Amino acid sequence: MKPAKEKFLGIPAAVVTNREAAEIILGMLQENHTHFVASVNPEICVAAQSNQALKKILLSADLGTPDGVGIVLSSRLRGGKIRERVTGIDLMLDLMPMLVAGGYSIYLYGAAEGVAEEAAENLRQRFPGLKIAGTHHGYVKPEEEREVARKIAASGADLLFVGTGSPRQEMFAAKYGAETGAKVLMVVGGSFDVISGRLQRAPLLFQKMGLEWLYRFCQQPRRLKRLLVLPYFLLLSLKEGRIK
Ligand code: UDP
């Protein structure tokens, strides 16, 4: 299935639900080359305006998921069809039963020392039979990244979740994606912090009301600068006009 795309500041996001995105990824796992699944959120769209390398990576992604209430809002206001946020963590968790059923293995790369391992342990308990090929923390120097890619390749992982923050995670996927040998690289931001239990996710009510950003801000006030990007994103995206 090739989903329709909508553009936000020139960056394409697919018109997909969580379920549809998971099915597309499952299809990618059956193909014999590396795919990149990007997360298209307001911050990254704004960042890509002044970072050409990042823009190029996002334009060449095999799938860009509509991540964040700002994307949904912009789509609604411009007559688009995106109605559901597809966040890295939701998609990652939705994929798990499918990965168990298909016998696919995963690798978790990112977050502080020990967090990916804790997240892996948690996933093993929640999804019995899940194959975890390995984990690696995300605090590596640029010159050490190739070594990480080699370790991932040696693990034989089918699906690599990269949670090293943006734009580091996108750059890694573009530079070393093929070297990892994984069929799919998917960026997941701070998801390992939540899955490991170190960080609390917003209550469902906040998520349903589109207020997860507010909860995250209260938890991590340093996110303020990132939040302030939202109105700017909306303004720029409204200027792009209606989505055909
Ligand atoms: N991180 C990392 N390496 C770094 C910097 C950050 O692995 O050099 C991790 C960080 O520990 C966190 C994630 O990247 O787990 C980024 O989280 P953030 O909240 O920025 O991402 P979001 O979920 O908002 O995309």
Q: Is the residue at 232 inside a domain?
A: yes
Residue owning the nearest CA to atom 8 of ligand 1:
139
Q: Is the residue at 33 inside a domain?
A: yes
Distance 242 CA to ligand 1 centre (A): 33
State how far the Cα of 68 lies from the Cα of 211, in Å rounded to an integer: 10
- Is the distance from the beta carbon of residue 177 to the nearest atom of ligand 1 less than 6 Å? no
pLDDT in tens, the chain (244 residues): 689 999 999 999 999 999 999 999 999 999 999 999 999 999 999 999 999 999 999 999 999 999 999 999 999 999 999 999 999 999 999 999 999 999 999 999 999 999 999 999 999 999 999 999 999 999 999 999 999 999 999 999 999 999 999 999 999 999 999 999 999 999 999 999 999 999 999 999 999 898 998 998 898 898 888 888 999 999 999 999 999 8
Q: Is the residue at 102 inside a domain?
A: yes
Q: Is the residue at 244 inside a domain?
A: no
CA-nearest of 2, 10, 93, 90 to 47 is 10
Domain carrying residue 191: 5-239
Distance 161 CA to ligand 1 centre (A): 12
Distance 179 CA to ligand 1 centre (A): 22
Q: Which atom of ligand 1 is nearest to the CA of 193?
A: 15
Q: Is the residue at 94 inside a domain?
A: yes
In the block, tokens 């370790």 appear at 151
Q: Which atom of ligand 1 is nearest to the CA of 140?
A: 8
Distance 167 CA to ligand 1 centre (A): 10
Q: Which two tokens stand for residue 49?
A: 């305006």
Q: Is the residue at 177 inside a domain?
A: yes
Supply the pLDDT for residue 104. Answer: 98
Pocket test for ligand 1, best of 144, 193, 219 (most atoms within 8 A of CB): 193
CA-nearest of 175, 167, 145 to 54 is 167
- Is the distance from the beta carbon of residue 169 to the nearest atom of ligand 1 less than 6 Å? no
- Is the distance from the beta carbon of residue 164 to the nearest atom of ligand 1 less than 6 Å? yes
| CATH code of the domain covering residue 58 | 3.40.50.10700
Supply the pLDDT for residue 227. Answer: 85
Q: Which residues of 184-213 are buried (b: 16+ CB within 10 A; e: fewer)?
A: bbbbbbbbbbbbbeebebbeeebbeeeebb
Q: Is the residue at 37 inside a domain?
A: yes
Residue owning the nearest CA to atom 22 of ligand 1:
189
Residue owning the nearest CA to atom 11 of ligand 1:
111
State how far the Cα of 106 lies from the Cα of 109, in Å rounded to an integer: 10
- CA dihedral defined by 151, 154, 156, 158, rounded to 10 degrees? 30
In the block, tokens 């394409």 appear at 12
- Is the distance from the beta carbon of residue 10 to the nearest atom of ligand 1 less than 6 Å? no
Q: Which pTM was predicted?
A: 0.96
Distance 142 CA to ligand 1 centre (A): 15
The DSSP element (H or E) to which 108 belongs, if any, is strand 105-110
Total domain count, the chain: 1
- Is the distance from the beta carbon of residue 219 to the nearest atom of ligand 1 less than 6 Å? no
Say if residues 195 and 91 touch (Cβ distance below 8 Å): no
